[in-house]
Amino acid sequence: MKKILGFTLLEMVVVLVMMGIVTSLALPGLQKMYDSMEASLARKDLVMILNHLALDVRHHGHALLLSNYPADIADLPQAFVKRLSVLDVSLQFDEPLYVTAGGFCPRENIVKVSKGARTYSLGLRAPDCRVIEE
């Protein structure tokens, strides 16, 4: 009697069904991981952009008073607006953020960041207007 090597159709179907079940269980977790990675990268980009705000103001040569972005877009340095517009976020400050023409912030401030349904807060320290790392 000849021995036939290989898999039967039933064995192949069982394996494909099991792979489908495993994939359906893993896919939501994988999507959640990608979403959190994207949010983390966007937050890091925003921190970098905010850390350059004082330098942009100094280069612009005019003092800045900012309470809301994008509402106060006309008063902002164009380099800052260009980098920030890519992130599609809105910023709301607890108190209007004042940056002197020399690029200094006289007091600390809190900025509330909104992107879609996500909202979080970042602190800006005085005198260099840099984001306070948590």
pLDDT digits (tens, 9 = 90+) for 107-121: 999 999 998 888 999
Residue 93 has φ and ψ, to the nearest 5°, of -95, 145
Confidence class for position 79, pLDDT limits 50, 70, 90:
confident
pLDDT above 70: residue 51:
yes
Alpha-carbon distance 71 to 90, whole Å?
9
Strand order in the sheet with 64-69: 64-69, 90-99, 109-115, 118-124
pLDDT score for 134: 60
Give the tokens for residue 44.
């890091």
Global model pTM greater than 0.85: no
Q: Which tens digit of pLDDT belongs to each residue from 59-72? A: 988 899 998 988 88
